[in-house]
Amino acid sequence: MFYKLVLIIGIIVTLVCSNMADNIHYKSSGVIIGADPRMCICCGGWKIIIDSLTYNFDSIPSSSNFILQKETFPITVKLDWEFKNAGCSNWITIQRITKE
């Protein structure tokens, strides 16, 4: 009887912990719309729409669950980001990202 109780508690703890991992909070939601082929000072990289504004970024963290070059666009994502400290106001750095 004791072993059954331990097994049931273990299963419940596992389920609760996996649900918590799925609900990790991200700063924003966005849609990656593809590569930016333009050749200008504040162009290039990849384009993403966050809160109706379009930003550019040059890479995603290697720990992400997808590879941009192998994806079909648009991609709906959840992400943490910050403005890139550069001369262009539309560039961001993605700190953490996952597909929705």
Q: Is residue 7 part of a domain?
A: no
Q: Is residue 80 part of a domain?
A: yes
Is the pLDDT reported for residue 11 higher than 90? no
pLDDT, residue 19, reads 47
Q: Is residue 61 part of a domain?
A: yes
The whole model's pTM is what? Answer: 0.74
For residue 59, give both structure tokens.
């890479």
Distance CA 92, CA 82 (A): 6
Q: How far is CA 19 from CA 11, 13, 84, 100, in A?
A: 12, 10, 33, 15
Pair 95, 55: CB distance under 8 Å: no
pLDDT digits (tens, 9 = 90+) for 16-51: 554 455 558 999 999 999 999 999 989 999 999 999
Is the pLDDT reported for residue 7 higher than 70? no
CATH code where residue 66 lies: 2.40.50
